[in-house]
Amino acid sequence: MQVTEVQQRRDDLDRLMDLKVRAATRLAYDHNEFLHGLFKSAGINPHTDISGRSDLLKAYKKGVRTSSQDVAKCYADYAAQLPLLEIWSSGSSGKPKKFLLSKDALERWNRGFSKAWSLLRVADGEKILVFPAPPPHMTSLSYSLTPFLNSPKVRTLVFRVPSIPKSLAAEEKERLAQSYIDMIYDFNPDHVSGAGWAMDAFARMLVSYGLSMEKLRVKTVSFGGDPTPSEQRKSIGELWRAEPFDAYATSEAAMVGCECHSHSGIHINEDDIFLTTVDPQAAEEVARNEVGKDLCTNLYNEGELPATFIINYSHNDNLALLSDKCTCGEVTMLASHPTRDFKKKPIAGFGFDMKEKKSLVQRAARKVRRAI
């Protein structure tokens, strides 16, 4: 590919992002009291003062910034007039938060997940076994609604981490586990994706009942949801005997980014999100290759109507921006694998406590054993 062509694609993406930053900030200013107040206090009117990402960063420095405790204040004033889907964050790093998703937000959501599948090079006719978290959490939505998964080109088997009731007799437990194993053999997935803990714990439980990974030919395992520690990605890849791919997806921002086959980092989904890294104390961007806190703005085209605004929002995750050049040909910015500082122990298997990651697998296995 010609260098000029690559540069042209990057320039086009930059223009698109600035266009969408203008649309998203103006809509938020006009249709959300809390964000309107933040912009007003900063002396910024998005209609006249924000032409793109650099101006949005100036607004951040003047105090236009949001975090998890602000989500409930960031619903659009027109939300009640729209058909809405309501989801909740898992609460892995704090109190669960409610998000209102409009049709346009869902389309944005689906675009991001479809992009991630294309980075994994899921081919026509291939089969994807998915392990979402139970509803109403984020991965249950992402795997149920992504049109790519529902297209005739791929086949999907959704496993909702079924439990085996404790009250069953041993032979009944055995029979039930064997039925799950038979389903997986029959489906014979090319790709496995899901919440890390589910892919880990459920698979280990089935292996204990005789599931043989040698009989399967899984090419990739990919992780959605909260940041998945590298040791765990590696361990699950080894468990499924497949190449592990990280994905960074959240209830707030949907698909933030996904790893490609070059494994050079996470390709940020810049068509739909502006993500940069900052030092919150200094209110400054950090340089490339330096780890800072994430700062995200969900991007929308003019005329689209999100029901929850995510503007200059931080998940409080740690990551670094790396480069917008990758051997795969993508021109989107690469970021390092994010990490999250969990404030408390995970609830019911959602999220992972970084301090206890060594015992993660054992704890997950114990949890499954207790459930059966």
Binding-site ranges for Zn ion (CB under 5 A): 260, 262, 326, 328, 330
- Helix/strand/coil (H, E, C) string of the chain? CCHHHHHHHHHHHHHHHHHHHHHHHHHHHHHCHHHHHHHHHCCCCHHHHCCCHHHHHHHHHCCCCECHHHHHHCECCCHHHCCCEEEECCCCCCCCCEEEECHHHHHHHHHHHHHHHHHCCCCCCCEEEEECCCCCCHHHHHHHHCHHHHCCCCEEEECCCCCCCCCCCHHHHHHHHHHHHHHHHHHCCCEEEEEHHHHHHHHHHHHHCCCCHHHCCCCEEEEECCCCCHHHHHHHHHHHCCEEEEEEEECCCEEEEEECCCCCCEEECCCCEEEEEEECCCCEECCCCCCEEEEEEECCCCCCCCCECCCCECCCEEECEEECCCCCCCCCCEECCCEECCCCCCECCECCCHHHHHHHHHHHHHHHHHHC
